[in-house]
Amino acid sequence: MSTSKILTAVITAAALALPATAAFAGKPKESKQCGGAPCEGEIDIELEILKACELLVGKDIKLAETSYTGSSSFQVTTNTPYTLNLSTLNAGTSADTFVKHATTTDKVFTKITTSKGGVNYPIGSTPVAGMSVDNFAVTVAPKTAVSATQRAGIYKDTLFIKVAY
């Protein structure tokens, strides 16, 4: 008998000598003795998909001198309902937003409008259905006309966008 046939016979004999439970990676879920009758069993299958979120933020908004209005956008992609939290650097979660002069306390009150599909999402927290790609538009404009005597300089604020679930 050749060496390979002997080796095959030894491996086959060893495999047949192993108890049936050695074929399982862990402890079997259940053991049933059927005694000749049909045996039935089950193996549960589970898939867990973790919550995920992607936030793509558009360009910065520069309020052009010709109209003092500007716009941008952002996109939220989630696989779960979420809460959209909007706030600003200068006013927090207050709807009384403003841009502030870089070196003085002068301000220009602004209106920030965030919308999706014709629905406005105010500064603060708002529940969103999610489970989709949500495209939001953001527009900013002064609440009242900018006076011809408004102090010259750069005025700034920041819109913070937070997605929570």
Domain membership flag for residue 139: yes
Domain membership flag for residue 4: no
Q: Give the sign of the dihedral formed by CA 151, CA 111, CA 162, CA 136.
A: negative
Name the band, by pLDDT with cuts 50, 70 and 90, for residue 24: low
Give the separation between CA 136 and CA 89, rounded to whole angstroms: 20
- Split into its structural domains, the chain has a count of 1
Domain membership flag for residue 15: no
State pLDDT tens for residues 50-75. Answer: 999 999 999 999 998 888 999 999 99
Please report, for residues 29, 34, 41, 100, the alpha-carbon distance to residue 26 in angstroms, rounded to integers and kept in the order given: 9, 22, 16, 65
Domain membership flag for residue 31: no
pLDDT at 21: 46
Looking up residue 79, the CATH number of its domain turns out to be 2.60.40.2040
pLDDT at 81: 97
Domain membership flag for residue 37: no
Considering only CA atoms, which of 64, 90, 78 is closest in space to residue 134? Answer: 78
Domain membership flag for residue 124: yes
Residue range(s) defining the domain that contains residue 105: 53-164
pTM of the model: 0.76
* Residue 20 reports pLDDT greater than 70: no
Domain membership flag for residue 13: no
DSSP 35: T
State pLDDT tens for residues 83-139. Answer: 999 999 999 999 999 999 999 999 999 999 999 999 999 999 999 999 999 999 999
Domain membership flag for residue 130: yes
Tell how many helices (H) and how many strands (E) occur in the chain. Answer: 1, 10
Neighbours of 109 (CB within 10 A): 13
Give the separation between CA 33 and CA 17, rounded to whole angstroms: 20
Tokens of 126: 């708002």
Neighbours of 160 (CB within 10 A): 12
The label of the residue with tokens 């002069």 reads 101
DSSP 121: -
Q: Mapping DSSP to helix (H, G, I), strand (E, B) and coil, where does residue 101 land?
A: strand
